[in-house]
Structure 1
């Protein structure tokens, strides 16, 4: 399958991965033949990139850190949690703990898999997918930093709920300030949950602080910011660079990684950024790329430890109907580079 921009999808192509709604229900199932109406609807609900099936790349396997079943269950429970908060009710931490335990189990089993954020987003599910991605990446960073299991669990819960202040019930007069003050709101919600560690509340409170002291809400710097919050800030920044249009145009993964490297020691903790870059797929499997040789192909494999040097499959049309297929392993061909990602 290939990972393509929705503007380049054609009627009759088949969907490569299932699309979920905000409550975890299936919007479109993997394998469905796309119609003009479906493609138009995907654009309308905010989908930009999707996987499509391609017979030339049908053997490509997208290895995820967590299964679709777990993702669906987490999104459903996150929806229940956020709905409770919106209605001014208390939320059930028991269900949240079940989700976190499932996530941690799967992440630990797949800790050597590179992170690639390829889940299809809609306006309906983006808040939940964002929370899930930030949680997943934060845990992967924590594993790289060799945090013990108890700390990984606290980090996972804090990262999952880092934006909980954005969904708290607010008045119309307060609506304009929600972005600025969601850190305070989240802290107030979480610190009153006695069954949760106070450190979890501080993730929500501090995840927009910057190591140089230019962040908010308190302008904390360096070691004044808790480790969990600094880890979550790195994961949150990456996901936002890829998907948050309010920051400007959405970046591709390799662009976002370069941008985050530039933010090290100012906005982000350098050591944490280095650990993060070891866990993320710079060029996601299924992405179309152009090499320095001017050849174009599709990323079909990854190298743990060398995320910027994937395996690229190139398919050329020869005389008649014959196709020449070759794979270029950039980990071995050190003089060949990826010039551009084609969407």
Structure 2
């Protein structure tokens, strides 16, 4: 499959990856033939890119840390929590714990997969996919940094609920009404949770140089869980900005932006580990090489995220007659010049 801009999609093309609704149900399934109405609806609900099943790239898979079942469960759990908080009710700590256990099982099983945020975001599911992505990335990052299972579960719950202060209330960025304060106040009273879980919500907008909010903490005063969640949160926000006026960055651009924040906004050591687990040029993305050839990324190397395998299609006129796969790990003088929209 191949990642394409929604504006280039034509009726009759086949959807390559499932799209979820805001409550975790399937909005459109992999393999469905897209109609004019479907494409128009996807544009209307805020979808900007989708995966298309292209015959020349049918064998390309996007390896996922989480199964579709786990994703559905996480999104559904977040939706239920939102409804509970909106109506002034308590949410189920037990249900959240079970969902996080399933997520951690997937992360442990697939820990050698490089992270690629491939789920299609809509206006309705954006908040829940953000929470899931921050939880998923934080969990894999914590695992790679040597956290034990008790710590991983605390981190995962905290990361999943890092924005809980935004649920059921308008966003206010001042004083104790900042969502970090509200999240801390909500979670510190959950008897089933360690206070460290509440501190992920409390500290995920702090910066190591003291320029963060809500308390301006510095360096060692920020807990490692919050430092991890902060990096994951920043990355997801760069890839999928909540503000429609902000530019949506590609993975390699987002990684450059994160590195520019190393030692100031974000913890340097955490960033070093993060760059080892992220897919800078994900499978399915179109690229232009320094030899002027264009192709699609079809494979990855863990430890060398900037040197993927690229498939270049050979054509006679408009007809595809074959292809060549270039492993950039084996061609040190060849590099990706640009990512094609």
Q: Same fold (TM over 0.5)?
A: yes
State the Cα distance separating 1:222 from its structure 2 match.
0.3
Q: 1:158-237 counterparts in 2 under 5 A?
A: 158-169=158-169, 176-177=172-173, 181-237=178-234
- 1:110-168 per-residue CA deviation (whole Å, 9 max, x = no partner) reads 00000000100101101110000000000111111011111001000000000000004
- 1:301-324 per-residue CA deviation (whole Å, 9 max, x = no partner) reads 000001111000000213795613
State the Cα distance separating 1:12 from its structure 2 match.
1.2
Pair 1:239 & 2:236 matched: yes
- 1:248-301 per-residue CA deviation (whole Å, 9 max, x = no partner) reads 201000000011011000000000001000001001100011111111100000
| Contact kept? 1:87, 1:169, Cα under 8 Å | no
| Contact kept? 1:15, 1:33, Cα under 8 Å | yes
After superposition, the Cα gap between the structure-2 partners of 1:163 and 1:71, relative to the gap in structure 1 and judged at 3 Å, is same
Q: Say what the alpha-carbon RMSD is for the aligned residues.
A: 1.5
- 333-342 vs 155-164, greater mean Cα deviation: 333-342
| Contact kept? 1:81, 1:91, Cα under 8 Å | yes
State the Cα distance separating 1:177 from its structure 2 match.
4.2
Moved over 2 A (4+): 175-180, 318-322
Q: 1:272-311 counterparts in 2 under 5 A?
A: 272-311=270-309
| Contact kept? 2:313, 2:320, Cα under 8 Å | no
1:342 corresponds in structure 2 to 340
State the Cα distance separating 1:48 from its structure 2 match.
1.0
1:95 corresponds in structure 2 to 95
Normalised by the length of structure 1, the TM-score is 0.96
State the distance in 2 between where 1:73 and 1:28 align. 17
- 1:92-127 per-residue CA deviation (whole Å, 9 max, x = no partner) reads 011101100000011001000000001001011011
Q: Can you give the 5+ residue segments of structure 2 that lack an aligned partner in the other structure?
A: none
| Contact kept? 1:138, 1:232, Cα under 8 Å | yes
State the distance in 1 between where 2:116 and 2:75 align. 18
State the distance in 1 between where 2:26 and 2:134 align. 22
2:327 corresponds in structure 1 to 329
Instruction: Tell me the number of residue pairs that the alignment of Structure 1 and Structure 2 aligns.
Output: 339
State the Cα distance separating 1:202 from its structure 2 match.
0.4
State the Cα distance separating 1:243 from its structure 2 match.
0.3
| Contact kept? 2:172, 2:178, Cα under 8 Å | no
- 1:185-229 per-residue CA deviation (whole Å, 9 max, x = no partner) reads 000000000100100000000000000000000000100001000
State the distance in 2 between where 1:78 and 1:3 align. 27
State the Cα distance separating 1:11 from its structure 2 match.
1.6
| Contact kept? 1:203, 1:229, Cα under 8 Å | yes
Normalised by the length of structure 2, the TM-score is 0.97
